[in-house]
Protein backbone atom coordinates (compact mmCIF):
# COMPACT_ATOMS: atom_id res chain seq x y z
CA UNK A 1 0.00 0.00 0.00
CA UNK A 2 1.33 3.42 -0.89
CA UNK A 3 1.58 6.31 1.53
CA UNK A 4 -1.07 8.17 -0.46
CA UNK A 5 -3.67 5.54 -1.42
CA UNK A 6 -6.09 8.00 -2.96
CA UNK A 7 -3.56 9.46 -5.41
CA UNK A 8 -4.83 8.54 -8.88
CA UNK A 9 -2.68 6.39 -11.13
CA UNK A 10 -2.91 7.13 -14.85
CA UNK A 11 -1.88 4.32 -17.23
CA UNK A 12 -1.68 5.38 -20.88
CA UNK A 13 -0.52 3.63 -24.00
CA UNK A 14 -1.35 2.53 -27.55
CA UNK A 15 -3.87 -0.06 -28.58
CA UNK A 16 -2.96 -3.69 -27.80
CA UNK A 17 -0.10 -2.70 -25.47
CA UNK A 18 -1.46 -4.58 -22.45
CA UNK A 19 -3.11 -1.72 -20.55
CA UNK A 20 -5.90 -3.89 -19.17
CA UNK A 21 -3.56 -6.39 -17.51
CA UNK A 22 -1.39 -3.66 -16.01
CA UNK A 23 -4.40 -1.68 -14.80
CA UNK A 24 -5.74 -4.75 -13.01
CA UNK A 25 -2.33 -5.46 -11.47
CA UNK A 26 -2.06 -1.84 -10.33
CA UNK A 27 -5.59 -1.81 -8.92
CA UNK A 28 -4.92 -5.00 -6.94
CA UNK A 29 -1.63 -3.57 -5.71
CA UNK A 30 -3.11 -0.20 -4.69
CA UNK A 31 -6.55 -1.37 -3.50
CA UNK A 32 -7.98 0.50 -6.45
CA UNK A 33 -10.73 0.55 -9.04
CA UNK A 34 -10.33 1.04 -12.78
CA UNK A 35 -11.76 3.98 -14.71
CA UNK A 36 -11.94 3.68 -18.51
CA UNK A 37 -10.04 6.28 -20.55
CA UNK A 38 -10.69 4.80 -24.00
CA UNK A 39 -13.13 6.76 -26.15
CA UNK A 40 -14.54 3.69 -27.94
CA UNK A 41 -14.88 1.43 -24.90
CA UNK A 42 -17.39 3.92 -23.54
CA UNK A 43 -19.95 2.76 -26.08
CA UNK A 44 -22.16 -0.28 -25.64
CA UNK A 45 -22.51 -2.93 -28.34
CA UNK A 46 -18.85 -3.15 -29.36
CA UNK A 47 -17.37 -5.37 -26.68
CA UNK A 48 -15.09 -7.57 -28.78
CA UNK A 49 -13.84 -5.17 -31.41
CA UNK A 50 -12.89 -2.50 -28.87
CA UNK A 51 -11.17 -5.11 -26.65
CA UNK A 52 -13.14 -4.26 -23.56
CA UNK A 53 -12.14 -6.16 -20.40
CA UNK A 54 -13.62 -9.65 -20.19
CA UNK A 55 -16.06 -10.83 -17.54
CA UNK A 56 -13.19 -12.63 -15.80
CA UNK A 57 -11.13 -9.42 -15.74
CA UNK A 58 -13.93 -7.21 -14.45
CA UNK A 59 -14.62 -9.77 -11.71
CA UNK A 60 -11.14 -9.20 -10.26
CA UNK A 61 -11.54 -5.47 -9.57
CA UNK A 62 -14.37 -2.97 -10.14
CA UNK A 63 -14.40 -1.30 -13.58
CA UNK A 64 -16.15 1.98 -14.41
CA UNK A 65 -17.28 3.81 -17.59
CA UNK A 66 -17.18 0.75 -19.85
CA UNK A 67 -20.18 0.36 -22.18
CA UNK A 68 -22.11 3.14 -20.45
CA UNK A 69 -23.09 5.14 -23.55
CA UNK A 70 -25.49 4.30 -26.34
CA UNK A 71 -23.67 4.34 -29.71
CA UNK A 72 -26.27 6.82 -30.97
CA UNK A 73 -24.77 9.40 -28.58
CA UNK A 74 -21.69 11.57 -29.01
CA UNK A 75 -19.51 11.65 -25.93
CA UNK A 76 -17.15 14.61 -25.97
CA UNK A 77 -13.96 14.95 -23.96
CA UNK A 78 -15.87 17.25 -21.63
CA UNK A 79 -18.62 14.73 -21.02
CA UNK A 80 -16.13 11.96 -20.32
CA UNK A 81 -14.14 14.24 -18.00
CA UNK A 82 -17.22 15.11 -15.98
CA UNK A 83 -18.17 11.46 -15.62
CA UNK A 84 -14.60 10.36 -14.83
CA UNK A 85 -14.11 13.01 -12.14
CA UNK A 86 -17.37 12.00 -10.46
CA UNK A 87 -16.34 8.32 -10.49
CA UNK A 88 -12.89 9.15 -9.12
CA UNK A 89 -14.40 11.18 -6.30
CA UNK A 90 -16.66 8.29 -5.37
CA UNK A 91 -13.72 5.86 -5.46
CA UNK A 92 -11.66 8.10 -3.16
CA UNK A 93 -14.57 8.60 -0.77
CA UNK A 94 -14.69 4.83 -0.33
CA UNK A 95 -10.98 4.80 0.53
CA UNK A 96 -9.87 3.33 -2.78
CA UNK A 97 -7.39 4.46 -5.45
CA UNK A 98 -8.57 5.48 -8.94
CA UNK A 99 -6.62 3.74 -11.72
CA UNK A 100 -7.43 5.59 -14.93
CA UNK A 101 -6.37 3.50 -17.93
CA UNK A 102 -6.78 3.85 -21.67
CA UNK A 103 -5.38 5.09 -24.93
CA UNK A 104 -7.25 8.32 -25.64
CA UNK A 105 -4.65 11.04 -25.30
CA UNK A 106 -7.15 13.89 -25.17
CA UNK A 107 -8.71 12.38 -22.05
CA UNK A 108 -5.38 12.35 -20.24
CA UNK A 109 -4.64 15.84 -21.52
CA UNK A 110 -7.91 17.12 -20.09
CA UNK A 111 -7.05 15.67 -16.68
CA UNK A 112 -3.43 16.80 -16.49
CA UNK A 113 -3.23 19.91 -18.68
CA UNK A 114 -6.75 21.25 -18.88
CA UNK A 115 -9.96 21.17 -20.84
CA UNK A 116 -10.45 23.93 -23.38
CA UNK A 117 -13.91 25.53 -23.11
CA UNK A 118 -14.82 24.81 -26.73
CA UNK A 119 -18.55 25.18 -27.50
CA UNK A 120 -20.47 22.12 -28.63
CA UNK A 121 -20.17 21.66 -32.38
CA UNK A 122 -23.53 21.82 -34.13
CA UNK A 123 -24.72 19.60 -36.95
CA UNK A 124 -24.34 22.35 -39.58
CA UNK A 125 -20.64 22.90 -38.88
CA UNK A 126 -20.07 19.15 -38.52
CA UNK A 127 -21.72 18.38 -41.88
CA UNK A 128 -19.99 21.28 -43.64
CA UNK A 129 -16.54 20.04 -42.61
CA UNK A 130 -17.32 16.44 -43.52
CA UNK A 131 -18.65 17.50 -46.92
CA UNK A 132 -15.49 19.50 -47.59
CA UNK A 133 -13.34 16.42 -46.94
CA UNK A 134 -15.56 14.18 -49.03
CA UNK A 135 -15.90 16.64 -51.92
CA UNK A 136 -12.41 18.14 -52.16
CA UNK A 137 -10.17 15.76 -50.23
CA UNK A 138 -7.57 16.01 -47.44
CA UNK A 139 -5.55 18.81 -49.09
CA UNK A 140 -8.57 21.10 -48.99
CA UNK A 141 -9.20 20.12 -45.37
CA UNK A 142 -5.63 21.01 -44.44
CA UNK A 143 -5.92 24.34 -46.28
CA UNK A 144 -9.08 25.18 -44.38
CA UNK A 145 -7.45 24.22 -41.08
CA UNK A 146 -4.52 26.48 -41.89
CA UNK A 147 -6.92 29.31 -42.69
CA UNK A 148 -8.73 29.08 -39.35
CA UNK A 149 -5.87 27.97 -37.10
CA UNK A 150 -2.37 27.98 -38.62
CA UNK A 151 -0.81 27.26 -35.21
CA UNK A 152 -2.76 24.05 -34.71
CA UNK A 153 -2.51 22.99 -38.36
CA UNK A 154 1.29 23.20 -38.21
CA UNK A 155 1.29 20.54 -35.47
CA UNK A 156 -1.01 18.10 -37.28
CA UNK A 157 0.13 15.55 -39.83
CA UNK A 158 -1.77 15.83 -43.16
CA UNK A 159 -2.97 12.23 -42.78
CA UNK A 160 -4.55 12.91 -39.36
CA UNK A 161 -7.99 13.75 -40.70
CA UNK A 162 -9.78 13.54 -37.36
CA UNK A 163 -7.68 16.29 -35.78
CA UNK A 164 -7.91 18.42 -38.91
CA UNK A 165 -11.67 17.99 -38.95
CA UNK A 166 -11.77 19.10 -35.32
CA UNK A 167 -9.92 22.33 -36.15
CA UNK A 168 -12.16 23.05 -39.12
CA UNK A 169 -15.39 22.25 -37.26
CA UNK A 170 -14.44 24.62 -34.44
CA UNK A 171 -13.64 27.29 -37.02
CA UNK A 172 -16.98 26.83 -38.74
CA UNK A 173 -18.91 26.79 -35.47
CA UNK A 174 -17.22 29.69 -33.69
CA UNK A 175 -15.20 31.61 -36.26
CA UNK A 176 -12.24 31.23 -33.92
CA UNK A 177 -9.08 29.14 -33.76
CA UNK A 178 -9.10 26.03 -31.62
CA UNK A 179 -5.73 27.20 -30.27
CA UNK A 180 -7.45 30.26 -28.78
CA UNK A 181 -9.61 28.04 -26.60
CA UNK A 182 -6.60 25.97 -25.52
CA UNK A 183 -4.71 29.04 -24.37
CA UNK A 184 -6.62 29.36 -21.10
CA UNK A 185 -6.99 25.97 -19.44
CA UNK A 186 -6.67 24.57 -15.92
CA UNK A 187 -5.87 20.91 -15.13
CA UNK A 188 -8.89 18.96 -13.92
CA UNK A 189 -6.66 16.97 -11.56
CA UNK A 190 -4.33 18.98 -9.27
CA UNK A 191 -0.67 18.09 -10.00
CA UNK A 192 -0.15 16.52 -6.57
CA UNK A 193 -3.21 14.27 -6.90
CA UNK A 194 -1.97 11.90 -9.61
CA UNK A 195 0.98 10.13 -11.19
CA UNK A 196 1.28 8.68 -14.68
CA UNK A 197 2.80 5.72 -16.50
CA UNK A 198 3.07 5.19 -20.24
CA UNK A 199 3.36 1.80 -21.95
CA UNK A 200 5.72 2.39 -24.89
CA UNK A 201 6.74 -0.91 -26.50
CA UNK A 202 8.88 -1.54 -29.55
CA UNK A 203 6.82 -0.58 -32.59
CA UNK A 204 7.37 -3.74 -34.64
CA UNK A 205 6.51 -5.97 -31.69
CA UNK A 206 3.37 -3.94 -31.05
CA UNK A 207 2.31 -4.21 -34.69
CA UNK A 208 2.70 -7.98 -34.57
CA UNK A 209 0.54 -8.12 -31.46
CA UNK A 210 -2.10 -5.90 -33.10
CA UNK A 211 -2.33 -8.27 -36.07
CA UNK A 212 -2.50 -11.36 -33.87
CA UNK A 213 -5.11 -9.83 -31.61
CA UNK A 214 -7.39 -8.92 -34.48
CA UNK A 215 -7.25 -12.51 -35.73
CA UNK A 216 -8.31 -13.62 -32.24
CA UNK A 217 -11.12 -11.05 -32.26
CA UNK A 218 -12.42 -12.43 -35.54
CA UNK A 219 -12.27 -15.98 -34.22
CA UNK A 220 -14.23 -14.88 -31.15
CA UNK A 221 -17.16 -13.55 -33.20
CA UNK A 222 -16.33 -9.92 -33.98
CA UNK A 223 -17.98 -10.05 -37.41
CA UNK A 224 -21.28 -11.12 -35.83
CA UNK A 225 -20.94 -8.30 -33.31
CA UNK A 226 -20.41 -5.73 -36.06
CA UNK A 227 -23.30 -7.17 -38.08
CA UNK A 228 -25.66 -6.70 -35.12
CA UNK A 229 -24.27 -3.21 -34.64
CA UNK A 230 -24.77 -2.35 -38.33
CA UNK A 231 -28.40 -3.44 -38.11
CA UNK A 232 -29.13 -0.37 -36.00
CA UNK A 233 -28.63 1.85 -39.05
CA UNK A 234 -26.83 4.58 -37.13
CA UNK A 235 -25.42 7.77 -38.65
CA UNK A 236 -21.99 6.84 -40.09
CA UNK A 237 -20.59 10.11 -38.70
CA UNK A 238 -21.14 9.01 -35.10
CA UNK A 239 -17.94 8.30 -33.13
CA UNK A 240 -18.84 4.68 -32.41
CA UNK A 241 -19.27 4.01 -36.12
CA UNK A 242 -15.59 4.88 -36.61
CA UNK A 243 -14.21 2.45 -34.03
CA UNK A 244 -11.15 0.61 -35.32
CA UNK A 245 -12.23 -2.24 -37.54
CA UNK A 246 -15.89 -1.25 -37.78
CA UNK A 247 -15.84 0.58 -41.15
CA UNK A 248 -14.02 -2.15 -43.14
CA UNK A 249 -16.06 -4.96 -41.60
CA UNK A 250 -19.27 -3.09 -42.41
CA UNK A 251 -18.00 -2.63 -45.96
CA UNK A 252 -17.50 -6.40 -46.14
CA UNK A 253 -21.00 -7.03 -44.80
CA UNK A 254 -22.35 -4.77 -47.56
CA UNK A 255 -20.51 -6.90 -50.13
CA UNK A 256 -18.09 -4.13 -51.11
CA UNK A 257 -14.86 -5.93 -50.13
CA UNK A 258 -13.85 -9.45 -49.20
CA UNK A 259 -13.44 -10.68 -45.66
CA UNK A 260 -9.69 -10.88 -46.18
CA UNK A 261 -9.56 -7.28 -47.43
CA UNK A 262 -11.63 -6.11 -44.48
CA UNK A 263 -9.36 -7.83 -41.98
CA UNK A 264 -6.19 -6.48 -43.58
CA UNK A 265 -7.65 -2.97 -43.69
CA UNK A 266 -8.66 -3.18 -40.02
CA UNK A 267 -5.16 -4.33 -39.07
CA UNK A 268 -3.55 -1.58 -41.11
CA UNK A 269 -5.81 1.09 -39.59
CA UNK A 270 -5.01 -0.21 -36.11
CA UNK A 271 -1.25 -0.11 -36.76
CA UNK A 272 -1.51 3.44 -38.06
CA UNK A 273 -3.55 4.48 -35.05
CA UNK A 274 -1.00 2.90 -32.71
CA UNK A 275 1.77 4.85 -34.45
CA UNK A 276 -0.13 8.11 -33.86
CA UNK A 277 -0.72 7.17 -30.23
CA UNK A 278 2.96 6.42 -29.66
CA UNK A 279 3.92 9.77 -31.16
CA UNK A 280 1.32 11.62 -29.12
CA UNK A 281 2.32 10.11 -25.79
CA UNK A 282 6.01 10.60 -26.58
CA UNK A 283 5.38 14.31 -27.15
CA UNK A 284 2.73 14.99 -24.52
CA UNK A 285 3.84 12.81 -21.59
CA UNK A 286 7.62 12.86 -21.92
CA UNK A 287 8.16 13.07 -18.14
CA UNK A 288 6.06 9.99 -17.29
CA UNK A 289 7.97 6.76 -16.56
CA UNK A 290 7.86 4.12 -19.29
CA UNK A 291 7.11 0.41 -19.44
CA UNK A 292 8.58 -0.99 -22.64
CA UNK A 293 8.04 -4.75 -22.47
CA UNK A 294 5.02 -6.50 -23.98
CA UNK A 295 5.77 -9.63 -21.95
CA UNK A 296 3.13 -9.64 -19.18
CA UNK A 297 5.49 -10.80 -16.42
CA UNK A 298 8.20 -8.30 -17.28
CA UNK A 299 5.69 -5.50 -17.70
CA UNK A 300 4.24 -6.17 -14.27
CA UNK A 301 7.73 -6.26 -12.76
CA UNK A 302 8.40 -2.84 -14.29
CA UNK A 303 5.06 -1.59 -12.95
CA UNK A 304 5.94 -2.83 -9.47
CA UNK A 305 9.30 -1.05 -9.59
CA UNK A 306 7.65 2.23 -10.63
CA UNK A 307 5.02 1.97 -7.92
CA UNK A 308 7.64 1.20 -5.26
CA UNK A 309 9.72 4.16 -6.38
CA UNK A 310 6.73 6.44 -5.86
CA UNK A 311 6.05 5.25 -2.33
Which pLDDT tens digit goes with each residue over 257-269? 999 999 999 999 9
% of the chain with per-residue pLDDT over 70: 97
pLDDT for 115 equals 80
% of the chain with per-residue pLDDT over 90: 88
Average predicted confidence (pLDDT) for the chain: 94
Is a pLDDT exceeding 90 seen at residue 311?
A: no
> What is the Cα–Cα distance from 187 to 35, expressed in whole angstroms?
18
Count of residues for the chain? Answer: 311
> What is the Cα–Cα distance from 83 to 266, expressed in whole angstroms?
30
pLDDT for 120 equals 84
SS3 letters across the chain? CCCCCCCEEEEECCCCCCHHHHHHHHHHHHCEEEEECCCCCCECCCCCCCCCCCHHHHHHCCEECCCCECCCCCCCHHHHHHHHHHHHHHHHHCCCEEEEEECCHHHHHHHHCCCCCCCCCCHHHHHHHHHHHHHHCHHHHHHHHHHHCHHHHHCCCCCCHHHHHHHHHHHHHHCCCHHHHHCCCCCCCCHHHEEEEEECCCHHHHHHHHHHHHHHHHHCCHHHHHHHHHCCCCCCCCHHHHCCCHHHHHHHHCCCCCHHHHHHHHHHHHHHHHHHHHHHHHHHCCCCCEECCCCHHHHHHHHHHHHHHCC
Mean pLDDT across the stretch 207-226?
98
Which pLDDT tens digit goes with each residue over 36-91? 999 999 999 999 999 999 999 999 999 999 999 999 999 999 899 999 999 999 99
Band of pLDDT at residue 20, cut at 50, 70 and 90: very high
Which pLDDT tens digit goes with each residue over 105-164? 999 999 999 887 788 899 999 999 999 999 999 999 999 999 999 999 998 988 888 889
Which pLDDT tens digit goes with each residue over 276-307? 999 999 999 999 999 999 999 999 999 999 99
pLDDT for 160 equals 87
**Domains in the chain with CATH codes:** 8-115+185-309 (3.40.50.300), 123-182 (1.10.20.140)
Mean pLDDT across the stretch 270-274?
97
pLDDT for 4 equals 44
Which pLDDT tens digit goes with each residue over 150-160? 999 998 988 88
pLDDT for 47 equals 96
145: which residues sit within 8 A by CB, 6+ positions away?
152, 153, 156, 164, 167, 168, 171
Is a pLDDT exceeding 80 seen at residue 3?
A: no
Amino acid sequence: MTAAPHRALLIAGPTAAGKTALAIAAAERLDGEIVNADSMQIYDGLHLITARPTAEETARVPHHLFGVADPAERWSVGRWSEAALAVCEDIRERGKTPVIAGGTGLYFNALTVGLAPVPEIGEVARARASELLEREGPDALMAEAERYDPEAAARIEPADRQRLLRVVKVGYETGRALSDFHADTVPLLPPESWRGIVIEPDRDSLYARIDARFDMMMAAGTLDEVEAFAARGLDPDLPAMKALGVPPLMAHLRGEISREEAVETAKRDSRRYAKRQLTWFRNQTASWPRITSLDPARAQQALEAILEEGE
